[in-house]
Amino acid sequence: MEQDIRTILEEVRAGSLSPDKALLLLKQKPFNDAGYVDIGYAKVDLHRRIRQGAPEVIYGAGKTPEQILGIMKTMCDGGEGRILITRLTSDSAEILRQSYPIAYYPEARIGILGELPSPDGLGTIVIATGGTSDIPVAEEAALTAEYLGNTVTRLYDVGVAGLHRLLSHSEDIMQANVIIAIAGMEGALASVIGGLADCPVIAVPTSVGYGASFQGLSALLSMLNSCASGVTVVNIDNGFGAAYTASMINHMKSKRKDPES
């Protein structure tokens, strides 16, 4: 595989292959060659940064600290300098810190190895919550977005029970490139923001609420049935998924056709 990559680079230098065509060939490499490292309990995808623009993210829930360490070592050996671990417990974080200098954010249950990058997105991602109880999900989203190179504005506790709190931040709402609306209870925040913003709104239902909220199902159904245009919905409490999609939108560039390809 290394020799194939060298050949591609040589062709670019010689002018017989365009950079856009070379990038496409590199993205296709793992479908023709092994683009992962098999460590028994995990097949670590070392090609993901080239293919998708960001390295593989480690989902910490259900994994032992030893398994996470093994994946981290494989990624570091493969050249990754920054690693994001989601749904990481504080006990596991303490064990990981004995081998790697990770920063741990207990509210978000996120661990990060390496420094956060300078933002290179097209604009700002606004993250708004209905209430204070939604902040853990919001922080998972905010830290993920920052890890992926985005400028983030946090608007917490701006739910519809006091609509003036949200409207006082109308400038942030209207200048955002993407908005993540996070709410439990009846999940109305996403529809309200969707009616104010001219950018994509990603709604995240949370499991916050009393009995009939059904651990977030009520908010999920409300958001799915939003009458505001431009609102899409991710799964309950999935701050990571919302932030990853928001980052892709915030880094979107036109994929022009290369006449030489």
Per-residue pLDDT of 90-100, as tens digits, reads 999 999 999 99
Under 8 Å between Cβ of 95 and 65: yes
pLDDT given at position 30: 53
Using pLDDT thresholds of 50, 70 and 90, give the confidence band for residue 3: very low
The pLDDT of residue 45 is: 81
Percent of the chain, pLDDT > 90? 65
Dump strand ranges (E) for 52-123: 58-59, 83-86, 103-105, 110-113
The pTM for the full model equals 0.83
Average pLDDT for the chain: 87
CATH for the 124-250 domain, from 3.40.50.970, 3.90.1150.10, 3.40.50.300, 3.40.50.1970: 3.40.50.1970
pLDDT over threshold 60, residue 83: yes
Distance separating alpha carbons of residues 125 and 71, to the nearest angstrom = 30
Q: CA-to-CA distance for 85 and 173, rounded, in angstroms? A: 29
To which residue do tokens 């006082």 refer? 168
- Where exactly are the structural domains of the chain? 1-31, 34-113, 124-250
3-state percent helix, strand, coil for the chain, nearest multiple of 5: 45, 15, 40
Lowest mean pLDDT among 36-45, 159-168, 221-230: 36-45
- Residues 114-148: tens digit of each pLDDT: 999 999 999 999 999 999 999 999 999 999 999 99
Output the pLDDT for position 2.
45
- Range of weakest confidence among 19-28, 99-108, 211-220: 19-28
CA-nearest of 169, 147, 152, 161 to 86 is 147
Name the DSSP letter for residue 128: E
pLDDT for 179: 97
Question: What is the Cα–Cα distance from 232 to 246, expressed in whole angstroms?
Answer: 11
